[in-house]
Amino acid sequence: MKTKKSALGRGLSAILESPETDITSKDISGNYVVGAIANIALEKIEANPFQPREHFEETSLRELAASIDEQGVIQPVTVRKLGFDKYQLIAGERRFKAAKLSGLKEIPCFIRVANDEQMLEMALIENIHRRDLNAVEIAISYQRLLEECKITQEKLSERIGKDRSTITNYIRLLKLPPEIQIALREEKISMGHARCLINVEEQDFQLAILEEIINRNLSVRETENIVKEKKISKQKKSDKRSDNLPEKHSEIVTGLKKYLDTRVAIRRNTKGKGSIVISFNSEEDFDRIVSLLGD
């Protein structure tokens, strides 16, 4: 009969179970002391309500469970102490679920103290660094860190070692229609495709291109060309409308285009009512134009 392996991997077990570590540190009540590393019964650990991941791939979980069955849990999960012999998962939910699947009764844990905001921040940052997160999950994690943990983009950039532009590009994905976000999450399209679609203003056209990408298996370059052709066609129509404008309006359009270095259009009806439309290509471009208009 096969003997169940320890929850700890062989190498880690030798270190953590050494008398020099505080793995057996307990307080007067018999609870593990905060800051300790300890094997804790899975039944005493509750799931993290702030877990940013929405989907755990079943096949991948079973593969990890098989690895745990053979090697043990190599990397401890992180928990916070809730009270008497109660703990809550902060990070490592995939390992936690796989350990349950493998039939383990306990799992190695780092024990920390964290209030809800700190707990959310730790869980989000820990998950952001995982390779198996999809782009939408990463974008949601960035957004939650900015909004719920009150972290600025500059501070977040320092925390996770990513450029601010990278963070901005991910967050912009959340402005896409749900159909495109689902396609991205299910890996029917890549982040490169999604970034092309962000630059399309009309939602109907975004969805039409999405369908074309999937049905024709378009590359990112081919998608870029479709978007570019659409913009050129739209610009020609805009220029044609501009040709029918009164001379003073046309002069204003020309001057604004030159000053703002972007597309400008005036839409006007026969009664003299209308609007001025100023285009921008990104958040940075928007900030630049606003700055010029404020001067």
Residue 17 is among the residues annotated as catalytic for this protein: no
User: Cβ atoms within 10 A of the Cβ of 127, count?
Assistant: 20
φ/ψ of residue 165, rounded to 5? -65, -35
* Pairwise CA distance, residues 28 & 85, whole Å: 12
* Pairwise CA distance, residues 42 & 22, whole Å: 20
Report DSSP state, residue 272. S
φ/ψ of residue 28, rounded to 5? -65, -25
Q: From the candidates 20, 43, 70, 93, give the one annotated as an active-site residue.
A: 93
* Pairwise CA distance, residues 13 & 15, whole Å: 5
Token pair recorded at residue 79: 């928990």
Residue 80 near residue 114 (C-beta atoms within 8 A): yes
Q: Residue 79: beta bridge partners? A: 89, 111
Indicate the residue type of 62: R
φ/ψ of residue 114, rounded to 5? -155, 135
Report angle CA 20, 25, 30 to the nearest 5 degrees. Answer: 155
Of the candidates 89, 152, 76, the one whose C-alpha atom is nearest the C-alpha of residue 122 is 89
φ/ψ of residue 118, rounded to 5? -65, -40
Residue 233 near residue 240 (C-beta atoms within 8 A): no
Residues annotated as catalytic are 93
